[in-house]
Amino acid sequence: MAAPSGGPALSLRVVAECGRSKGPELIKQAHGLHGFMNWTRNLLTDSGGFQMVSLVELSEVTEEGVRFRSPYNGEEILLTPEKSIEIQNALGSDIMMQLDDVVSSTVTGPRVEEAMYRSIRWLDRCIAANIKPAEQSLFAIVQGGLDPALRTKCLEEMTRRDVPGFAIGGLSGGEAKDQFWRMVTLSTDRLPREKPRYLMGVGYATDLVVCVALGCDMFDCVFPTRTARFGSALVPWGSLPVKNKQFAKDFRPIDENCRCSTCRRYSRAFLHALVRSETVAMHLLTVHNIAYQLSLMRSIRESIVEQRFPQFVQDFMTTMYGSRERYPPWAVEALASVHITLE
């Protein structure tokens, strides 16, 4: 809705239900998604591909495209690279994602390789289908699962295509963190320095900090808003499950140092009282959690500009985990790999 000042410049939208009958025509009438939502800043749309893995029970993937059922009205949809780009062109988003053949990071075997090569072919079909290359930036999505050889191959091929940006896909889906960070850094090592790197589906604060250190620029995650709707507030030292009884008489704001509208006016105790019965609680927590995320990223940027990023990371980890023994080992390793040694 009304974006907070200094708010997010990009808003991630999902394409699946725009694949409904007459969806693109309706959006054209509304002057694109910006017009329909009355959003004057930037928009990024996903291809609809992620739904294959996350939302849909019955889907069939062929070389042609993905066949699945709309979660809203049960209609059967065939999503091809061409169709996905057609929809995204109609939506008029500033950044569009290619349709990729998404495979869960926990899957092994030949399916991973098949999906990787298909994603390259689908990237080419998406590039060909984009009728507004000057206004809408089409990003490639690097696949290859957790297999370094496959991922490297994918990177080699995709970086041959002239796209404005690259996403690192197929991660953040339940794989072990040890493998996760290695695939991220492998990808950033091979992606061009002068183009944005968008790590999809990340995430938690620690993951954001570490992956910035590994060379990622952009992120998306449902976590902050979803956890807000489930009654939890994000704070620099973790998360407060405001809906828990322990907060019933806690009259402090969520975070005394937070300047968001929720923290300036409301206490944990009141939020606790609201959360059981009123949707407002979800909005108040959402505002705070988004403010937290934006503040975190702003702090990261400032520390980079002021050449003190490693110190920032150190302070972040201390605040979040308290002591060295509690630092997640994968994070320590990942940071060490880019010469940030934690104390």
Partner 1 sequence: MKLSLSKVVSGCRLGTLTNLGKNGVQTVELPGCLLYTKTGSPPHLTHDTLQTIKGVPDIVQLTLSTLVELHDVLEEFKEGVGKFIGMPDSVLYCSLHDPGTPCPFGYNNNKSVSIWGYGGRVEMTTSKFMNMQRAFKPDWIQCLSDGDTISGETSRKRAKKSVDRSLSFLDECIQLQEKSPELQSSVMIGVIEGGDVLEERLRSARETAKRPVGGFLLDGFQGLAMAKETKLKLMDSVTAELPEDKPRLIHGIGKPDEVLECIERGVDIFESFFPYQVTERGCALSFSYNYNPDPEATVIKQNGIQDTGKSHTEKDINETSKADPEITSFEIFLKEKRYRDDFGPLVHGCTCYCCQNHSRAYVHHLLVTNELLAGVLLMMHNFQHYFSFFHSIRDALRDDRLDQLKELIFRQACETQEMHSQASECRGRR
Positions annotated as catalytic residues are 46, 220
CA-only gyration radius of the chain, Å: 21
Q: Which two tokens stand for residue 132?
A: 């507004």
- Find the binding residues for partner 1 in span 95-154 (CB under 8 A): none
Q: Is residue 33 close enough to count as binding partner 1 by CB under 8 A? A: no
Q: Which of 169, 172, 208 is nearest to 334 (CA)?
A: 208
* Closer residue to partner 1 (CB): 171 or 290: 290
Structure tokens at 4: 């907070």
In the list 109, 162, 194, 251, the residue contacting partner 1 (rule: CB under 8 A) is 251
State which residue, 226 or 301, has the beta carbon closest to partner 1. Answer: 226
Query: Does residue number 289 form part of the binding site for partner 1 (CB under 8 A)?
Result: no
Amino acid at 220: D
Of 36-44, 107-115, 131-139, 193-201, which part binds partner 1 (CB under 8 A)?
Answer: 36-44
C-beta separation of 88 from 47 below 8 A: yes
Span interacting with partner 1, options 35-43, 116-124, 151-159, 306-314, rule CB under 8 A: 35-43
Binder to partner 1 among 3, 131, 280, 336 (CB under 8 A)?
280
Q: Is 11 in the site for partner 1 (CB under 8 A)?
A: no
Size of the site for partner 1 (CB under 8 A): 31
Contact set for partner 1, span 62-101 (CB under 8 A): 72
Alpha-carbon distances of 316 from 184, 205, 222, 303, 320, rounded to whole Å: 21, 9, 22, 12, 6
**Which of residues 26, 128, 304, 336 is near partner 1 by CB under 8 A?**
26
Q: What is the DSSP string of 157-190?
A: HHTTS--SEEEE-S-SSS--HHHHHHHHHHHHHH
Q: In the bound complex, what is the minimum distance in angstroms from residue 246's beta carbon to partner 1? A: 13
- The answer to the question of residue 30 lying near partner 1 (CB under 8 A) is yes
CB of 253 to partner 1, least distance (A): 11
Cβ at position 31, least distance to partner 1 in Å:
9
Q: What is residue 240's three-state secondary structure? A: strand
C-alpha distance from residue 293 to each of 32, 63, 221, 236 (Å): 28, 38, 10, 10
The reply to whether 55 sits near partner 1 by the rule CB under 8 A is no
Among 10, 282, 294, 297, the residue binding partner 1 under the rule CB under 8 A is 282
Residues in region 207-226 near partner 1 by CB under 8 A: none
**Sheet containing 66-69: order of strands:** 59-61, 66-69, 76-79
- With contacts defined by CB under 8 A, name the span among 43-51, 172-180, 282-290, 315-323 that binds partner 1: 282-290
Q: Does residue 252 interact with partner 1 by CB under 8 A?
A: no
Q: What DSSP element (H or E) covers 26?
A: helix 23-29
**Binding residue for partner 1 (CB under 8 A) from 175, 283, 333, 338?**
283
Alpha carbon distance 279, 258 (integer Å): 22
Q: Which one, of 325, 319, 343, 327, lies nearest residue 236 by Cα?
A: 319
At residue 282, the 3 state secondary structure works out as helix
Q: How far apart are CA 226 and CA 252, in angstroms?
A: 23
Window of 60-68, 160-168, 277-285, 312-320 that interacts with partner 1 by CB under 8 A: 277-285
Of positions 12, 287, 294, 342, contacts partner 1 by CB under 8 A: 287
Question: What does the block give as tokens for 251?
Answer: 């009259």
Backbone angles phi, psi at 293, to 5 degrees: -60, -45
Which residues of this chain interact with partner 1, rule CB under 8 A?
1-2, 17, 26, 29-30, 36-38, 72, 248-249, 251, 261-262, 265-267, 269-270, 273-274, 276-280, 282-284, 287
